[in-house]
Structure formats: C-alpha cells, structure tokens
C-alpha cells in the first residue's frame, strides 16, 4: 500500500481507493519529515488505517520540491498482521516476542494469543536495560507485566529497532533446586537459540530494502505529480 501526501497532509495518490479523505498532517509519519530532511526511511508507530481499520506499520520518506523545500510525504503501509501472524507460529508458553523501536515504542508484541501494537514501554526497567546493550541476555523481574523472564535481545543493523525474546523464569527453571546458577546459563543459552529461530522476523524487516527501492521509484513519480499539481494551482 503506497500513499503520497502533499505539504498540507492531503492525499495526492494512493494504491488503494481513498475512502477516508482528509489531512494526515497529524500523523507521526508526516510530522517526522516536516522539519527534518534526513534522507532516511522513517518507521512509524503502528496506526489503525482510517481507510480499512486495520493496523499498519507506516514507513515513510520525505518528498522535496526541486529547490529542496518540503513538498509532502510518501508512505508505504505494511500490514502489522504480517508480523503477528508469524509470531503465532512460535510457542513460548508464558514467554514474549516483540519488535521494539529504540525509543520504546513497540511495533508488535505477542504473549500467547495476546497481540499488541503501538504501546510505549520506554519507562519499563527491562526495556531500559535491554536498550543499553546491542545484543545479549539477562534475567529481569521488572517487565511490562511484572513476570520474571530471561530476556534475549538483538538490535537490527540498519534500523533503530531491536528483536526481543523473553521466556518465563518459572518455566525455564521448573523443577530445579540447588543448581539454579547452572540452569540460569542453560536457560539463557536456550533463549539465544530460540531467538535464532525467531530472528527470522528480523528478516521480514529486511524486506524493507525492497520496499525502500519501491519507495524511491514511487518517489520519482510522486515528485512529478506534486510538481504538476503545484503548477496547476
């Protein structure tokens, strides 16, 4: 799903029928580009589409006039279910899988059948600890829901995102007594292996590279359309 918006947030082009017209100038994916021309793809907080009502992950780029002034935004909306459906194939018991931005905004989080998008965990101690490391694991009893978990984390190279996997400490240490230190290491190693399987999810985000190329192609078309629209006005 590809959309373009002019400098006032009004939709100019769309790969889908426009059923909810109106300005999108209040959207994060729009505001992120108004005063900043980073030249980078922005991964926005998941939003409910005003057209379809579905959760989408907006990935956007700024559009400029020939002189470099802000001309609008081009957005690709990725169906968030694409990620949560994959998560449903991984059984973790009381464990958690999530993709989270470096600022603490959760792109998708799954615990059992409970799937959540766009929650802010920036103040949660477990997030803050995990965010301080590029990769690794630790034991935390200060998670979003208060469950003690062994948490493994890995940051994506090209994006401000991390993949997190957490398994319940009770599940990992069930039936274990005096040898807890040894089994902490074993359980942590198992989580890292589990993360290796779950890291396929990060590959889904790497598909953004293809989306990025599509954006650049669409951006060229949008630049021409915006220029023609401005001349017509």
pTM, to two decimals: 0.73
Q: How far apart are the first and last CA of the chain?
A: 27
**What is the pLDDT at residue 79?**
85
Query: Which of the 8 DSSP states describes residue 25?
Result: T
**What is the pLDDT at residue 114?**
85
* Cα→Cα distances 64→68, 88, 99, 217, 223, Å: 5, 40, 31, 14, 7
Residue ranges in 142-207 assigned as alpha helix (H)? 169-172, 180-198, 200-206
**What is the pLDDT at residue 120?**
95
143: nearest Cα among 123, 118, 117: 123
**What is the pLDDT at residue 167?**
80
**What is the pLDDT at residue 188?**
59
Q: How far apart are alpha carbons 188 and 137 in whole angstroms?
A: 7
* Cα→Cα distances 178→67, 147, 150, 190, Å: 70, 22, 18, 20
Judged by DSSP in three states, 212 sits in helix
**What is the pLDDT at residue 122?**
95
CA dihedral sign, ordered 67, 70, 72, 75: positive
**What is the pLDDT at residue 17?**
67
pLDDT tens for the chain, 233 residues: list them.
788 899 999 988 777 666 666 788 998 999 999 988 988 889 999 988 877 788 989 889 899 988 889 999 998 888 888 777 766 666 666 778 888 999 999 999 988 778 899 999 999 998 999 999 887 788 887 777 777 888 888 887 777 888 888 887 777 666 555 555 655 665 555 555 555 544 555 565 555 556 556 656 665 666 666 666 666 66
């Amino acid at each position: 799903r590809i959309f373009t918006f002019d400098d006032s947030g009004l939709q100019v082009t769309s790969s889908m029928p426009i059923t909810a017209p109106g300005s999108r100038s209040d959207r994060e994916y729009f505001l992120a580009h108004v005063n900043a021309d980073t030249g980078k793809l922005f991964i926005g907080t998941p939003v409910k589409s005003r057209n379809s009502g579905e959760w989408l992950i907006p990935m956007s780029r700024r559009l400029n006039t020939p002189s470099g002034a802000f001309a609008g935004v081009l957005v690709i909306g990725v169906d968030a279910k694409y990620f949560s459906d994959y998560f449903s194939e991984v059984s973790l018991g009381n464990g958690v899988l999530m993709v989270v931005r470096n600022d603490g905004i959760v792109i998708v989080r799954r615990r059992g059948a409970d799937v959540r998008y766009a929650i802010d965990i920036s103040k949660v101690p477990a997030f803050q600890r995990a965010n301080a490391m590029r990769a690794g694991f630790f034991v935390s009893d200060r998670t979003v829901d208060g469950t003690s978990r062994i948490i493994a984390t890995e940051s994506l190279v090209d994006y401000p995102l991390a993949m997190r996997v957490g398994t319940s400490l009770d599940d990992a240490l069930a039936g274990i007594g005096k040898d807890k230190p040894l089994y902490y290491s074993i359980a942590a190693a198992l989580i890292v292996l589990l993360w290796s399987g779950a890291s396929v999810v990060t590959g889904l985000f790497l598909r953004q590279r293809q989306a990025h190329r599509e954006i650049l192609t669409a951006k060229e078309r949008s630049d021409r359309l915006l220029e023609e629209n401005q001349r017509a006005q």
